[in-house]
Amino acid sequence: MPKNIKQRTIKKQVSASGIGLHSSNIVELTLKPASVDTGIVFKRTDIENSELIKAKPESVTDTRLSTQIGTNPAQRIGTVEHLMSALYGCGIDNVIVELSGPEIPIFDGSSASFMLLIDNAGIKEQDADKKFIKIMDHVRVEDDGKFAEFTPNDIFSLDLEIDFNHPIIPKQAKRFDITSNFYKKEIARARTFCFQKDVEYMQSIGLALGGGLDNAIVIGDFAVLNKDGLRYKDEFIRHKILDCIGDLYMVGYPILGHFNAELTGHGLNNKLLREIFSDDNNWKFITLPEDSSSIPFI
Ligand SMILES: [Zn+2]
């Protein structure tokens, strides 16, 4: 009998400090190893007896600017999507995420810093089979001309289209098959992006206070304003893929299926997850043998 892919945690505790994109507070992020079947669990360390927030679709409570989790407004944690995306990319099932403030640090605006942090901690295989969620039926949600859907597929693949109606961001559509190592090479370094005019407005109302050329691609009327330009020619759509992967990993398990979306965002992605779990015929848990060609992480 071939061995199945095992659950993973990190080998040792690691920490890093950074600025929050919207709050501009310096926050310390700590990742701690966790036992089998713990899942991904968040905790605020600046609040006494704070609640534990598990990565699951119902934990998402605000998706307007970033993905925010936690039902108690005083204990919420914002901008979790890039960390969730990196945990997915490293195949981490079980970890405790501790945070000394209300927002995960933005670092360079991609998930590469989180990947590095996990790399420093080391990845540890655990003594239990890893569970995957296999999509068994077509599930679709729509909102105001936007849609997101899953159809059954043996691997995790994504078809995404973006259209910002802006000369610097051409309308882009792309299909990605997420198989071993693809995430680290092709997705992890893609940074978040924003328009210069929006940054000025957001900062005037007290948002994106920590934002700037160090942690986002800033797009002017006629050019990208970052001195070194783009990291990938199609960095914008790659970052959207990074965000979608992070949003979908809020399930707490890697999904095997084909994700197709036009103009989707954090809110619609979360609505899709809730729709999947509204009917047990839409999905089932499976395990995969170690030599499977459809392993979607490093
Ligand atoms: Zn993002």
**Residue 25 C-alpha to ligand 1 middle, in angstroms?**
18
**Residue 34 C-alpha to ligand 1 middle, in angstroms?**
26
Residues 164-185, mean pLDDT to the nearest whole number: 88
| Residue 77, domain member (yes or no) | yes
Domain CATH code at residue 176? 3.30.1700.10
**Residue 193 C-alpha to ligand 1 middle, in angstroms?**
8
User: Which of the four pLDDT bands, split at 50, 70 and 90, describes residue 165?
Assistant: confident
Question: CA-CA distances (angstroms) from residue 172 to 84, 169, 181, 240, 263?
Answer: 24, 8, 23, 11, 11
For 59-91, the pLDDT digits (tens) are 999 888 789 999 898 999 999 999 999 999 999
| Residue 189, domain member (yes or no) | yes
Distance (Å, whole) CA 259 – CA 267: 15
**Residue 293 C-alpha to ligand 1 middle, in angstroms?**
28
Question: Across all residues in the chain, what is the average pLDDT?
Answer: 93
In this structure, of 4-8, 243-247, 261-265, 279-283, the range with the lowest mean pLDDT score is 261-265
**Residue 140 C-alpha to ligand 1 middle, in angstroms?**
22
Give pTM, 2 decimals: 0.95
What Rg do the C-alpha atoms of the chain give, in angstroms?
18
The reported pLDDT for the residue numbered 229 is 94
Query: Is residue 55 pLDDT above 90, yes or no?
Result: yes
Query: Is residue 1 pLDDT above 80, yes or no?
Result: no
Is 82 an active-site residue?
no
| Residue 27, domain member (yes or no) | yes
Cβ-based burial of 237 (10 A; exposed 0-12, middle 13-18, buried ≥19): buried
* Domain total of the chain: 1
**Residue 245 C-alpha to ligand 1 middle, in angstroms?**
10
| Residue 98, domain member (yes or no) | yes
Q: Could you list the residue range(s) of the whole structural domain that residue 207 is in?
A: 6-286
| Residue 33, domain member (yes or no) | yes
**Residue 129 C-alpha to ligand 1 middle, in angstroms?**
30
Distance (Å, whole) CA 31 – CA 12: 8
Q: Residue 54, Cα to own-chain centre: how many angstroms? A: 15
| Residue 209, domain member (yes or no) | yes
Query: Is residue 108 pLDDT above 90, yes or no?
Result: yes
User: Which of the four pLDDT bands, split at 50, 70 and 90, describes residue 179?
Assistant: confident
The reported pLDDT for the residue numbered 264 is 87
Residues 160-187, mean pLDDT to the nearest whole number: 89
Q: Which of 82, 239, 258, 266 is catalytic?
A: 266
In this structure, of 21-30, 149-158, 242-251, the range with the lowest mean pLDDT score is 21-30
Alpha helices, DSSP H only, in the chain?
81-89, 112-121, 182, 196-204, 235-248, 266-276
**Residue 4 C-alpha to ligand 1 middle, in angstroms?**
32
User: Which of the four pLDDT bands, split at 50, 70 and 90, describes residue 234?
Assistant: very high
| Residue 88, domain member (yes or no) | yes
User: Which of the four pLDDT bands, split at 50, 70 and 90, describes residue 198?
Assistant: confident
| Residue 296, domain member (yes or no) | no
**pLDDT greater at residue 263 or residue 42:** 42
The reported pLDDT for the residue numbered 218 is 93
Residue that has been written with the tokens 């995790």 in this structure: 156
For 89-98, the pLDDT digits (tens) are 999 999 999 9
User: Which of the four pLDDT bands, split at 50, 70 and 90, describes residue 208?
Assistant: confident
Would the CA dihedral through 42, 29, 25, 103 be positive or negative? negative
**Residue 103 C-alpha to ligand 1 middle, in angstroms?**
14
**Residue 32 C-alpha to ligand 1 middle, in angstroms?**
24
Q: Which of 228, 100, 242 lies closest to 183, judged by CA?
A: 242
The reported pLDDT for the residue numbered 2 is 78
